[in-house]
Every structure is written in structure tokens, then in C-alpha cells.
Amino acid sequence: MGYIKWLGHAAFEVELDGLRLYFDPWIENPKSPIKVSDISKADFIFVTHDHGDHLGNAVEIAERTGAKIVAIFDLCQAIKEGGAKVECIDMNIGGLSDIGGVSVALVPALHSSAHGSPVGFVVKGKEATIYHAGDTGIFMDMQLIGELYKPDIAMLPIGGWYTMGPYEAAHAVKLIKPKVVIPMHYGTFPAIKGSPEEFIKYVQRIYPVQVIVLEPGQKFEF
């Protein structure tokens, strides 16, 4: 059985097909229930873009555990040029590729980034297909992501200001059509004040699906 554990902000620990995955591991965020020193196992670390609240502690975790970072080509180059002694799998927006136990596709995200385009990740395993949207506004190609990959679980930002707010995220759910959606990227800073309650209200009106609201440290098992 796999699980998704929210670590605050956009950071998640995921167990999928026996692999330990981390997404946007800013473990030093104010809501995080753990410290970097608590992480002893990791196989892959997925980084959606280079902003500090998403790249976070990825390099440190990779150095501690031997995990491979997965990121867009330009960000991998920057990590390597920065002198980090880690392996970074440099990919780009395209199709599903097997990286060793799971298949991964980088998909577009509407945001900003200094090194390459910001992205989301579709990670497909035997137990589930997961879509972590990264920081993004809503865009119509989310419908294509849903049609191509049929994600079982989508992690979507709802905080607003820098990303979709609750209203836009609920419309994104209608485009993607996941079975389960987990809201993220809210409440960490004063500006990102979109709430799960508001998101649920819009989802129920626009495209009812199962919304799982996690407290930091809580797991959703699948």
C-alpha cells in the first residue's frame, strides 16, 4: 500500500511501488513536521522549479540519502555547476520515461523560474498515477494532462497570489478529472490565504471529487 504525506507548503513524501519519493522538499518550511535530519531514505526527489520554497532542501537530502534529483535540464545544470555531489536526472517537458521503477513525465506549469521552465510532474506506478502540479495558474492543457495520464491523485496549489486560488483550482479539477485531489501551497505566508474550506465549496459546485485535506504530517493511503 502506498501513501502521500504532506510536509507543509508544496512538500510531500510519497511511498509508491516501494520507492520513497519527495516532491518540492522545502523541509524548513514553517509548517513542516520533520527536519532534514529525520530523512534517512529517499529514492527520487522531484523539483518543479528553482524558487527556494520548492528547491528547498533537495540537494541536502540527496547528499544524505543518495537519492536522485529529477528536474528540468536547466535546473539540473545549475545544481551541478553549484558543486553539489549529487545525481540529477535532467529531463524536459515531454512524454513518460522510465527512470527506474516508475515512469515520469514533466508537464507544463504557468509560473516563473530562473533556470528553465517551471513544470509539474506526472509519476506513474503500478499502485497509482500521481500529478503534482507545482506552482501554477490554471491553463487549458490541464485537460490534456488529464486525458493523457488519467491521474488518480492530483496535488494542486490553492493559496492564490503566486498560484491558482481556490476558485481556479476547482476549475482545474474539472479539467484534470482526478479521483482524489489534495490541496497544497496555502497558509504558509500571509499572501497565500486561499483555504481548503473555500476550495471544497467550489469543488462541490464545479466538479465534485474526493478532496483530502491533510494536516502537516498526515498520510493519505492508497
- Domain extents in the chain: 3-213
The mean predicted confidence, pLDDT, of the chain is 98
* CATH number, domain 3-213: 3.60.15.10
Q: Can you state the percent helix, strand and coil of the chain, rounding each to 5?
A: 25, 25, 50
What is the model's pLDDT at position 194? 98
Condensed to tens digits (0 to 9), the pLDDT of residues 87-103 reads 999 999 999 999 999 99
For the chain, the C-alpha Rg in angstroms (whole number) is 16
Condensed to tens digits (0 to 9), the pLDDT of residues 139-158 reads 999 999 999 999 999 999 99
